[in-house]
């Protein structure tokens, strides 16, 4: 018996190294977002579905990899978010955190990720600071940012005569970044900012703020908010006769889920910028159909699409590096390899972590123009990839200056 035991031990020692090479590369992804509150339809469970689809399409077994996905609700609170991130990295051995809407939470998670040398694939968060002054060698910002939104919607509206602006701003990192970036675009194009008001996140009544906006006589009321806040602003704006009085809303960040919640009757004519729309082409439609198998009756946002594509590119990079352990090495690989996926097409991950791809200026259809559920947007303009995102020289990202040296 003892002989058999030591024989087995000897064999293990002998062939142990060989067996190790056969072991698959384990990757654990954590989808961290708002599962239950105002941003849950933008990201939430829809992002988890997209993540699962990415893993399925990557086919880990073919690359000798094993990928696992977990998810959690950060309740839009930075402290909750960074606590979960720490626990995921330290206890649950998560290699990459994905999505994370709510910029304040994303900024906190970016710091934790950098400290632990893991990877942060940002899709839901918007603040352009994530690739600007607060950029990190461990982050990749996939889908959109506040600079891009401002550049798309802001520029288009100023150029068509909307030259005086009043901002209704969500009072946290994202709202402030969006207001700052839009104001810069407006003034650069000859427009003027006549006022702004900071509104606490998740506010339900906007009539006070709408009244202030009305009294400012600005031609454009810029909504530097998102999700439920945007919905309530526009819905109540219609009631207070904002559009009837000749003023217009600029929804600086509007998702298809918001348009669905408003109804086309209220939302029609709204101009918005997005990097992905489910009904743009056959590939997107086919992808949406698969997604809808898990989320019947709903439509994927650009955030869900970004989660899908960023995971796909990340897994390719892990396969190329051969391990997910060193987060910075994986992100470097992601920057080295050009991006190419079914949803966002060809592009690249820049040194600051921004992923470049085209952006689209859409207008919300009227009820008469909409032929089927989800037929909500019509394309007004395409902004090419090299113009859609902030030029590297304006980034103030330490990584950019370091790379230049």
Partner 1 sequence: MVEIFGIPSYALFGQLLIGLINGSFYALLSLGLAVIFGMLNIINFTHGAQYMMGAFAAYLMLEYLGLDYWVALVIVPFLIAATGIVIERLFLQHIRKLDHLYGLILTFGLALIIEGLFRNAYGSSGKPYQVPELLQGGRNLGFMFLPNYRAWVIAFSLVVCFATWFAIERTRLGSYLRAATENPTLVRAFGINVPRMVTLTYGFGVGLAALAGVMAAPIYNVSPQMGSDLIIVVFAVVVIGGMGSILGAIITGFALGVIEGLTKVFFPEASSTVIFVIMAIVLLIRPAGLFGRTV
Interface residue list for partner 1 (CB under 8 A): 36-42, 44, 171, 197-200, 202-205, 207-209, 211-212, 214-215, 227-228, 231-232, 235-236, 239-241, 245, 257-258, 260-263, 265-266, 298
Q: For the CB of residue 170, give the shortest distance to partner 1 in the complex, in Å.
A: 11
Closer to partner 1 at the Cβ: 266 or 339? 266
Q: For the CB of residue 286, give the shortest distance to partner 1 in the complex, in Å.
A: 23
Q: For the CB of residue 364, give the shortest distance to partner 1 in the complex, in Å.
A: 13
| Sheet arrangement for strand 271-274 | 271-274, 359-364, 377-383
Asked whether 383 and 152 are in contact (CB, 8 A), the reply is: yes
* Contacts of 256 by beta carbon, 8 Å cutoff, 6+ apart: 277, 278, 299, 300, 301, 374, 376, 377
Closest CA to 253 of 90, 126, 101: 126
Closer to partner 1 at the Cβ: 158 or 252? 252
Closer to partner 1 at the Cβ: 127 or 268? 268
Q: For the CB of residue 43, give the shortest distance to partner 1 in the complex, in Å.
A: 10
Closest CA to 67 of 356, 312, 304, 373: 312
Q: Report d(CA 306, CA 123) in Å as an integer.
A: 5
Closer to partner 1 at the Cβ: 124 or 137? 124
Q: For the CB of residue 44, give the shortest distance to partner 1 in the complex, in Å.
A: 7
Closest CA to 390 of 16, 13, 133: 133
Closer to partner 1 at the Cβ: 64 or 366? 366
Asked whether 71 and 84 are in contact (CB, 8 A), the reply is: no
Closer to partner 1 at the Cβ: 113 or 169? 169
b vs e for 141-176, b when ≥16 Cβ sit within 10 Å of the residue's Cβ?
Answer: bbbbbbbbbbbbbbbbbbeeebbbbbbbbbebbbbb
Q: For the CB of residue 141, give the shortest distance to partner 1 in the complex, in Å.
A: 24
Q: Report d(CA 310, CA 290) in Å as an integer.
A: 18
Q: For the CB of residue 211, give the shortest distance to partner 1 in the complex, in Å.
A: 5
Closer to partner 1 at the Cβ: 217 or 346? 217
Q: What Cα–Cα distance (Å) separates residue 140 from each residue in 180, 219, 336?
A: 22, 36, 13
């Amino acid at each position: 018996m003892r002989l058999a035991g030591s024989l087995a031990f000897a064999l293990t020692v002998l062939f142990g190294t060989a067996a190790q090479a056969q072991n698959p590369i384990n990757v654990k992804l954590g989808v961290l977002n708002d599962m239950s509150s105002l941003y849950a339809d933008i990201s939430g469970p829809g992002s988890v579905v997209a993540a699962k689809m990415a893993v399925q399409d990557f086919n880990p077994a073919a690359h000798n990899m094993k990928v696992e996905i977990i998810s959690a609700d950060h309740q839009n609170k930075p402290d909750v978010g960074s606590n979960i991130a720490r626990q995921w990295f330290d206890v649950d051995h998560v290699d990459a955190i994905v999505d994370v809407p709510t910029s304040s939470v994303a900024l906190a998670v970016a710091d934790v990720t950098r400290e632990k040398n893991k990877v942060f694939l940002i899709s839901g968060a918007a603040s352009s600071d994530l690739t600007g002054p607060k950029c990190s060698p461990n982050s990749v910002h996939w889908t959109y940012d506040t600079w891009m939104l401002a550049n798309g919607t802001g520029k288009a509206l100023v150029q068509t005569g909307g030259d005086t602006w009043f901002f209704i701003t969500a009072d946290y990192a994202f709202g402030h970044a969006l207001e700052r970036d839009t104001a810069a675009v407006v003034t650069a194009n000859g427009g003027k900012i006549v006022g702004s008001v900071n509104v606490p996140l998740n506010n339900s009544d906007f009539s006070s703020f709408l009244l202030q906006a009305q009294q400012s006589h600005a031609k454009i009321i810029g909504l530097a908010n998102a999700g439920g806040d945007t919905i309530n602003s526009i819905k109540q704006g219609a009631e207070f006769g904002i559009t009837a009085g000749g003023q217009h809303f600029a929804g600086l960040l509007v998702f298809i889920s918001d348009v669905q919640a408003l109804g086309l009757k209220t939302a029609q004519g709204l101009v918005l910028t997005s990097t992905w729309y489910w009904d743009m082409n056959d590939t997107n439609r086919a992808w949406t159909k698969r997604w809808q198998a898990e989320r019947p009756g709903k439509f994927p946002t650009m955030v869900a699409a970004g989660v899908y594509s960023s995971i796909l590119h990340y897994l390719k990079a892990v396969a190329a590096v051969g391990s997910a352990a060193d987060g910075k090495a994986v992100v470097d690989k992601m920057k080295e390899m050009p991006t190419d996926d079914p949803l966002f097409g060809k592009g690249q991950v820049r040194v600051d972590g921004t992923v470049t791809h085209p952006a689209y200026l859409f207008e919300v259809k009227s009820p008469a123009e909409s032929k089927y559920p989800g037929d909500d947007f019509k394309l007004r303009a395409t902004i090419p990839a090299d113009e859609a995102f902030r030029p590297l020289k304006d980034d103030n990202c330490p990584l950019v200056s370091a790379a230049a040296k």
